[in-house]
Structure 1
């Protein structure tokens, strides 16, 4: 919510920009310079300049022409001030269109951020840091058994978060989401390949039945467990990084 003070400061800033435009436009500088020269140049110097132009024309085209004597009048001042006024109007119009384009870009950015914020809120609802799946990734040693519902949030994320509707418009957020998705997809695929139910219950284990309860496992079992533990830790880290990035970018 924007406060009254912020609105007032924004209005003053915009007013300054329109009332005191900067002279960065080369055309504006040129026209103002010409207008100032017309106003400030004495009539005698203008007579010399105009006669030089007429003489140059006569020399090149073989036609003899003359230029009437100049008298001090208000016409030069009207012309000079008109040029300056036109230059100022041009500069103001130029700055207006620049600021208008900036306003449009800012509005589009706000809409994009709002869409990303809604999608990020959905992610936090479906896959929060206190979910069973995050606890599994963070704390579980896959040398031990685990409940089959402990991967529900991971399964849902892998099943539903790889569509056009779940892509973030912010490039940084989308890159982080995609990295998290790919890592979790790899993890859950390897976990499903390595695990089996213990009896008829809901518990799963990555240790084959033949070696469960043994003091020492074959090398392939140790390799499997170490790989799952490492992947789980990496997934947890990426999940937390994604949440931190989203909160920083979306201010939520």
Structure 2
């Protein structure tokens, strides 16, 4: 269903196109030129033009067409003034409508930027580039143990940033947020499946207990570690790309 606001915007857009088409400026200048021509052209010259026009019509049509004698050109001057005035009024109205539209568009853009900026500030608090989760994604080799607390920022982002309250109004930023969330969600799922706790502490490992400390690992363990390292690197790169896009689009 089309909302009332969308219907209003559609009606305004169509009305603007019908009343003020793209050739408005050319049309305005044409009307002004005709009006000024009527005002500046003297009666004898107009009489010569009218007689030439009548002779041309009679010659091509074969009919005897005549016009009344021109004795007073005041009516012509009135029409010239009317044409010029209408052109000026139309031009003023056209510029005024464009001015209102630009003000409305600028106001809406500022509101969107303000809302997205506030949301981005929240993101930087919950998932900054220097947090433990970002360092884990960037630096850690999953052939080694890792601290389970290091994924806290990552888990909060995946759990919280997939609802309507965390949608960016800028489509470019929003597309990057979705890409980042999907990558982080996929990485956390892989991490939960491929790792387990070591002992009774908060350390986790992708290597099964039976192979801990071994130099030569089975192929499935090597493949698991490589996949985790690859996914972690992708998440970090997308995190940094998301931050860079936000700073560029929001200028903050």
Q: Report if TM-score (shorter chain) is over 0.5.
A: yes
Displacement of 1:105 in angstroms is 1.1
Tell me the secondary structure at the aligned position of residue 204 of structure 2.
Answer: strand
- After TM superposition, what 4+ stretches of structure 1 lie above 4 angstroms from structure 2? 48-57, 62-66
Q: Tell me what 1:15 maps to.
A: none
CA distance in 1 between counterparts of 2:125 and 2:155 reads: 15
Displacement of 1:26 in angstroms is 2.8
Q: Tell me what 1:154 maps to.
A: 154
TM (norm. structure 1) is 0.82
Tell me the secondary structure at the aligned position of residue 204 of structure 1.
Answer: strand
Displacement of 1:251 in angstroms is 1.3
Displacement of 1:41 in angstroms is 2.0
CA distance in 2 between counterparts of 1:36 and 1:168 reads: 54
Matched, 1:68 2:75: no
Contact preservation (8 Å) 1:54, 1:67: no
Displacement of 1:197 in angstroms is 0.8
Q: Tell me what 1:198 maps to.
A: 198
CA distance in 1 between counterparts of 2:224 and 2:180 reads: 21
Over the aligned positions, Cα root-mean-square deviation in angstroms equals 2.4
Q: Tell me what 1:42 maps to.
A: 42
Q: Tell me what 2:132 maps to.
A: 132
Q: Tell me what 1:120 maps to.
A: 120
Q: Tell me what 2:212 maps to.
A: 212
Q: Tell me what 2:13 maps to.
A: none
1:206-249 C-alpha deviation (Å, 9 max, x unpaired): 11001011111111101111111111111111111111111111
1:37-68 C-alpha deviation (Å, 9 max, x unpaired): 211222123234556777869x99x9987513
For structure 2, the residue ranges without an aligned partner over 5 or more in a row are 1-22
Contact preservation (8 Å) 1:187, 1:228: yes
1:165-203 C-alpha deviation (Å, 9 max, x unpaired): 211111111111111111111111101101111122111
Query: Residues 208 and 67 of structure 1: is their aligned pair in 2 closer, same or farther, counting only changes over 3 Å?
Result: same
Displacement of 1:117 in angstroms is 0.6
CA distance in 1 between counterparts of 2:53 and 2:227 reads: 88
Q: Tell me what 2:6 maps to.
A: none
Q: Tell me what 1:165 maps to.
A: 165
Contact preservation (8 Å) 1:116, 1:168: yes
CA distance in 1 between counterparts of 2:239 and 2:168 reads: 15
For structure 1, the residue ranges without an aligned partner over 5 or more in a row are 1-22
Q: Tell me what 2:141 maps to.
A: 141
**203-212 or 44-53, larger mean C-alpha shift:** 44-53
How many residues end up aligned between the 2 structures?
228
TM (norm. structure 2) is 0.82
Displacement of 1:75 in angstroms is 4.4
Displacement of 1:135 in angstroms is 1.0
Q: Tell me what 2:98 maps to.
A: 98
CA distance in 1 between counterparts of 2:66 and 2:177 reads: 79
